[in-house]
Structure 1
């Protein structure tokens, strides 16, 4: 462990401080502390008040959010969370998976760099907060922090807002650590290989080979694309690289977008509508994977595996195979560890 020491050449009465470590702070979207009304309301309020997520003027949006949405949505979202909640451990799948990912990455980094690194995770919304984890890392002697949003594709509503919160936390530190943020890794060969391997395993384990693989990405308003957000382009490229790695043609794979919110047009095709259309076209056996999510969560376990599955089956679909996110799969952890090592160059070699 790194003990507090007096800085070199400091006077005898200088307080001892910890220094010399590198923090690796993983970040994901977040999760409510519980699926009951008030924890859900607190979480949704923080999430839906983020200007990166909903960019309407506050004078217009906040009355709608506070008076209408947050009186009803905590109940419906809470019911969805309850359906996937780990009641024995008292936490959501995203929290449990992120803890497992962190533990494995911590082990890999310790084997590579020893006690020179400190690995932890935070959530953009909810707990553990980004601010609290930055504070802990500084207190433990991290004078450099690598901040890693666990989103393969960059989006303003995910990667950027996570970075924003990290920078806000740094603003409160008297002695700020040097900092780096990890860029999107959607086209990293290690990530594509891990994703392809998970699909090959899933296809090998089903009795009927799917007619098509639906790559369902989280959606965003089309307007954000026009404003310069690269998310759509990076999603489409992920699908293309995956197709090439699998050796497939265009008829075997498609990109779609899920999780619409509000009245405006979002990126298309919409997953929930497209799977129904595939069923009506005679593609009765499909598989769905969610390459934009590093860990299974409400959008995959409830929305894809329940709502989107139901849309497909009601339209005449027969076999619906949901392929889990990479989660703490060893190939995924190895890919993330490689991304981290590449971004530590110059700090730790």
Structure 2
């Protein structure tokens, strides 16, 4: 029995938002076209939205976005793609240490590598159990919901579908909360550390209409912020939740991040730290929007020190927490060698 090799029958698919293939304008345009054509992302009737997208947005926005991507692109490529790959590798190693016979794969909801192809690859390799983990701690129909849409559409074309499990959210998971809190503590312990006048939890924004129709996203963001603040022992006036990345003229959930930091500076707040708990991997929204645009806005408004606290990426404490999350979801599936021995 010692020489028997057991083939994993279950696979984990981590799904991130997506990224263009390069910083070229055509690649960015292709990515934005796919992203902004998702009916869950822009809920306006396509009869109205598609002409606007193709005549006003796509002729202009890709050039501006390409410049922003270029500002944060690395030699290894897109930070989001690089960090997602590292997270998957670290999770795979952690699960091996725990004796789990399961493979970890990753894909992007928009762009490459795409979800549909990733699911087909798992099918072709014989996996009959798939756990899909959208890399969004807080659920929204515009993020985790649209990941499920891809799965449903893809499985419509399959005669034999696998057993499927889906992690909806983990915004209040103790391991996730502690991992974010620990990343903040580590930043405060550094040479230029110490607590700021305010700690800001900046989450990606969402149209107010989505929340009005029942999307739980804002509530979960506020709960995550409160739990992290409690883990840090912060008083209520030492932290706040805000929302970034607004797109278009529609009202989004508030307060908005950039106006908030400008207002704080005007009120005499000199030092702030910003962390983005809704983003598990650093990306354009954190590295460019927060650490460049919002940073500069705060300093121009009279602030003295702005510090961006990086996403969890592949931090060991986060990988441990993620292994706990997926381990719970794998319950009942034969993913340990001892389980497979018993089956024989």
**Fold shared by both chains (TM-score > 0.5):** yes
Please say if residues 256 and 268 of structure 1, whose CA atoms lie closer than 8 Å, have aligned partners that are also in contact. yes
Deviation, 1:19, is 8.6
Structure 2 SS opposite 1:157: coil
What's the Cα RMSD here? 1.4
- Partner of 1:61 in structure 2? 49
1:142 aligns with 2:127: yes
Verify: 1:263 aligned to 2:249, yes or no: yes
Cα distance change, pair 210–132 in 1 and its aligned pair in 2 (3 A): same
> Which structure 2 residue ranges, 5 or more long, are not aligned?
1-5, 336-344
Contact persistence 2:8–2:102 (CA under 8 A):
no
Whether 2:113 is the aligned partner of 1:125: answer no
Pick one of 267, 271, 279 that aligns with 1:281. Answer: 267
| Partner in structure 1 of residue 339 of structure 2 | none
> How many residues are paired up?
329
2:187·2:193 contact (CA, 8 Å) conserved in 1? no
2:146 is paired with a residue whose SS is: helix
Match of 1:324 among 299, 310, 325: 310
Structure 1 residue 171: deviation in Å?
2.2
Q: Secondary structure at the match of 1:81?
A: helix
Please state if 1:32 is matched with 2:20: yes
Distance 1:97 1:208 in 2: 27
| Partner SS, residue 262 of structure 2 | helix
TM-score by length of 2: 0.93
**What is the alpha-carbon distance in structure 2 between the residues aligned to residue 30 and residue 272 of structure 1?**
24
Cα deviation for residue 138 of structure 1 reads 1.0
Q: Deviations over 1:44-79 (max 9, x none)?
A: 000000011000001100001011100011100000
Q: Relative to 1, partners in 2 of residues 1:20 and 1:175: Cα closer, same or farther, differing over 3 Å? A: farther
| Displacement after TM superposition at 1:119 (Å) | 1.1
Asked if 1:187 is matched to 2:172, the reply is yes
Task: Map 1:121-270 to 2 at 5 A.
Answer: 121-205=106-190, 206-207=192-193, 209-270=195-256
**CA drift at 1:20:** 6.6
Deviations 1:240-284 (A, max 9, x none): 111111111111110000011111111111000000001111111
- How many angstroms does 1:208 deviate by? 5.3
Q: C-alpha displacement at 1:113, in angstroms? A: 4.0
CA deviation map 1:128-164 (0-9, x unaligned): 1101111111111110100000100001111101111
Matches of 1:235 and 1:162 in 2, distance apart? 19
Distance 1:334 1:207 in 2: 26
Q: Aligned-pair distance for 1:108? A: 1.7
Partners of 2:158 and 2:193 in 1: how far apart?
A: 56
Contact 1:279 1:316 in 2 (8 A): yes
SS at match of 2:18: strand
> Are the structure 2 counterparts of residues 208 and 199 from structure 1 closer, same or farther at C-alpha, using a change threshold of 3 Å?
closer
Structure 1: tracts of 5 or more residues without a match: 1-17
Q: Is the 8 A contact 1:19 1:143 kept in 2?
A: no
Which of 66, 72, 92 is the aligned partner of 2:78? 92
